[in-house]
Amino acid sequence: MAIRFHKEKPQPAASMAKDEKAKKLLAKVKLWQEDSESMVSDWECNQEKWHRMRMRIKKSKTFPFKGCANIRMPTIEIKIRKLKAALMNVIFGIRPVVSVEPPPSGNWTIAKKIEKFLDHLIMEKMAVKNKFIIAIDQMLEKGFYLVKPHWRIEITTRVEEFNLEDVSMEEAQ
């Protein structure tokens, strides 16, 4: 096996300019990343503080002596539980969870059937109640929460066996 050694040729000025542009672009993107991280740091600290307060995670006490009393009342958790129950009752307390009004020339019986069908899809097929319990809890703790509705997909793989006698020559090609 032969090994070839290549001498590096000096790069033309056009490719050097491209490298400089790429370095400038990279530096700009890194600066954007650092700026975004610094903007989010206060928000992250507050979120962490509120989560620790809610879950009653205590710092170790050393003043006035090591192991002194550290009492906190779980007021945040009590309020969140009450609000969560109230919001769940507002959303899921009355079935169907959706209401459909027909247009002026429409029929109310068809609207009621659509309500029942949508209620069945939302409550039984999509099973959103458990997801909404978590979403409401997180929304009350953090101030917002995003929920993405989606359908469950089932992929069925089937294997069919054929004999050579079953397949014609035209189908085989």
CA–CA distance, 171 with 27 (Å, rounded to integer): 59
Q: Where are the domains of the chain?
A: 22-72, 75-142
> DSSP state, 8?
P
Are the C-beta atoms of residues 130 and 114 closer than 8 Å to each other? Answer: no
* pLDDT values of the chain reduced to their tens digit, one per residue, 173 residues: 556 665 666 555 556 667 888 899 999 999 988 888 888 888 888 888 888 888 877 777 766 667 666 665 667 888 889 999 999 999 999 889 999 999 998 899 999 999 999 999 888 888 888 888 988 998 888 888 888 776 666 767 888 787 778 777 777 66
Are the C-beta atoms of residues 119 and 97 closer than 8 Å to each other? Answer: yes
Q: What are phi and psi of 11, to 5 degrees?
A: -75, 145
Are the C-beta atoms of residues 96 and 116 closer than 8 Å to each other? Answer: yes
pTM above 0.75, yes or no: no
The tokens describing 90, both together, are 């507002």
